[in-house]
Amino acid sequence: MEPMGSIESYLAELEVVVRGIPRQDVQAVVDRLFEAWRRRQSVYLIGNGGSAATAAHMMNDLNKFTAIGDLPRFRAFALTDNIPYLTAIANDESYADIFVESLKNFLRSDDVVIAISGSGNSPNIVKAVEYARTQGATVIGFCGSPGGKLAQLADLKVIIPSPKITQQEDGHMILDHAIATALRERIEREEGKRG
C-alpha cells in the first residue's frame, strides 16, 4: 500500500484554504444571483480548462438544482459549451475573442457574467469582462490568489486563498455547490411564501 502522506498533506492544506474563503464575499454573490433569478436576468459563465468544466457544472447546478416546482427558473448559460462556435471564433478571429464574441450576441445590460480564472489574467477572460462592464452587466470573478486583472475588474469577487491551481479549482467547485445550495434554500422560501 502506498503511503498516504501526500494525500493527507493535500487534504490538510485544502482544509485551511476552505476555512480562509471569505464568507461575506460568497454571500454577496448569492445575493446578486438571487436578484438575477427574481428579475429573470441571464447569467453567463466563462472559464478555460478546468475552469471551463466548473463553468459548465455551475450552469447545470443553477438551472437544475435550484429548480423548485413551478417557480421561475434560472437563465444560466455556460459559454464554454458551444465548441463549434468557440472554435470558429478562435480560428477566424483569435482565441482571446471566444467569450467576448459570444457575449456580443446575448448580453444585456442587467445580466450577470461569472468569470472563473485561477490566475485572473487569461486574455479571453479579461477581454470578455472588460466588454461586460462597458455594457453595464454585473461581473462576478472567481479567482485564485492574488486574483490578477479579473479581481481588479470584477464588481464582486471571491478569491480562493491559495497560489496552487489545483486548490483554486477545488475552491471554485466548492463555491458552486455552496452558492447553489444557498440559492435553492432561498427559492424554497419564496415557494413557502406563495403557499
d(CA 108, CA 118): 26
The domain spans of the chain are: 5-194
Mean of the pLDDT values across residues 46-62?
A: 98
Mean of the pLDDT values across residues 113-131?
A: 98
Comparing 111 with 4, the larger pLDDT belongs to: 111
Mean of the pLDDT values across residues 41-68?
A: 98
Task: Return the pLDDT at 195.
Answer: 58
Task: Return the pLDDT at 190.
Answer: 81
* pLDDT score of 186 more than 80: yes
Mean pLDDT of the chain: 95
d(CA 113, CA 158): 14
Bridge partners of 44? 77, 113
Label residue 193 by pLDDT band (50, 70, 90). Answer: confident
Task: Return the pLDDT at 5.
Answer: 80
d(CA 60, CA 65): 7
Which fold, 5-194?
Rossmann fold (3.40.50)
* pLDDT score of 3 more than 70: no
Burial 103-116 (b: 16+ CB within 10 A, else e): beeebeeebbbbbb
Mean of the pLDDT values across residues 35-49?
A: 98
The fraction of the chain above a pLDDT of 90, given in percent, is 93
* pLDDT score of 2 more than 70: no
Mean of the pLDDT values across residues 28-45?
A: 98
